[in-house]
A and B are shown apart, each in its own frame.
Chain A
Amino acid sequence: MDSGVSVGFLRGAGLSLAGAASFTLDQEARRLESRVHSREELAAWRDGGSVLEDLEDPHGHGTAVLSILLDQGRAGAGVEWYVARVLDGRMRGDSLCLLEALEWLTQDVRPDLINLSLGTAGRAFEAPLTALLDRAVEQGSVVLCAAGPVSGLPSGLPQVVTVADAAMARALRKGDIVDHVEDAATVRLYADGAWTERPLTSSYACALAAARVLREGCPPGWRHVTAPQRTR
């Protein structure tokens, strides 16, 4: 779940998405819009037969995260990939879009693994967010979330595995809200039309941890992180 995906990356990687959706909030009209695309529509997009602007990643963050999952996860052909776009070209979105995307994922997709390299410092929607994450966990999903620079959501919630890079973990004093630290200094990812090496951030650390789950299976304790184990 991120800022969409570059269709050029999908073509280059030969990746077929099983499903994808975009979620936007029209602040003036106060309406939340959802666009859910079928596998066939996504195949036509990837093959150049159509344009899906609402899914195209204008920032590159979502593409970079997906590229880490693909490159490091080494997932087999049986893995189905879903993309939910909730962030715009400035890498911003609205928490309502996150809620709607989680509604779509938990109702229609029921994924094994959810990567959330995003967050918000606001807590107004903590209750519905918690309920949706509860549903995801009850369905068996492992939910990984990047730690933010300040206390926020969904990082730190008991339903998610909160991941940070080493610098972030030091700053947050690991043990407060961070469940897992990725120690790599850099990561290989796809950005600006090519594979490159970039410094690790909490977003990319989250994707690395998710790739670890794809590659090696879910580590003990990640499937259910219980609230009493940590304080904020």
Chain B
Amino acid sequence: MAELKYDDNGRLIFTEEMRKEYTILVPQMAPFHFEYLVDAFNSEGYNAELLRTTDYELIHEGMKYSHNDICVPAMLVIGQFIDAIKKKGIDKHKVALIITQTGGGCRASNYIALLRKALKKAQLDFVPVISLNANGFEENPGFKLSPRLFHKLHEGIVFGDLMMGLVHQTRPYEKEKGAVNALKATIDEELKEYFNHRKLFTWKKSKKRIQDIIRRFSALDLDKTPKPKVGIVGEIYVKFSPLGNNHLEETLEKEGVQVVVPPLYDFFLYSFDSRAHDIRRYGGPRKERLVLKALLWYIEVRRGKVRKLMRKAGFETPISYKALKSLIDGFIDVGTHTGEGWLLTAEMVDLIKHDAPNIVCTQPFGCLPNHIAGKGMFKKLKKRFPHSNIVAIDYDTSASEINQVNRINLMVSNAFRNFEKGNSQ
């Protein structure tokens, strides 16, 4: 059994021995992406397992072990972990947790500390917690974000964004109910193998795979009668996680609209870029800035190629990161980058300009950054784009669903009315 080792600050570290023996539990934060990311981890010699639980009890565990005023993502992630350790029948002495840490000026950066506190309260403080970050916080001998792993995660996000775009553009129009989900399931199964592959794939191989996926989605039998489009933006966890947003995508699709969710990758690019931006504006290591910029360039080139393939097959694609960034001119400064910061505003402008003026802006109850870049920008957006139709929804483990549904319903009703007006003109 692996020995428990601590660093100088008393933090339990994840050792090389643990890497061999332990299962790393990963919270489900974005269903389109995390399946691939976990497989990517495993191909690099880790034993990671994605937590797919959504049952109600985990919310209770979260409440029990975290501050009630903390935002809902932290509460749910903590609840999901503890619930899993307690219930899964796995050896709790052979399990570790992993969580992302962006390091921005938002309280989300503190999830990891809250998680450790919760574990201590639950008498599980022998469970190591790994921080997944690009800032060099908290190093662990048994876990390294190696270039290989980094590249594989990169692929995972690219594929996740691709699948998300394809599914959202086809599912509302499928003639045979369930066809899209079935296709996605088949492809996911194939991709499991793809991501579990130890060797890195060349672009040529990736490209072939992407083309194949796009081709299969193109081949679906669809009824292309247009539907109004509704965008989902907001705090990163509640934007993507069905557990966090009460299955918002599903709710909206049931109302008969097409959902548009801006890609996950932009958030990571934005995080790297923010760091680079601060170095330029307030000073800092020049070299780091150059590395970040190079990284941004590399990723964008890859994404650009995928976008091209999608467009060729007649699918809509997200705009480039650079184009997205230029949209905020006159709205908010690029220096606003706590939480989702200017990216949130940019995504709303992008949606409005690209045919989806109807938007659900999601945030945890009491989310500070969204006071600025979300709700704080509504007035400007409405003034510039009078036809925009934005609703802000606060998420919270105790919030009543009917209140949320009622507000979403108002937005959707207006979406349909505007859509019909637009069609009749």
A binds B: no
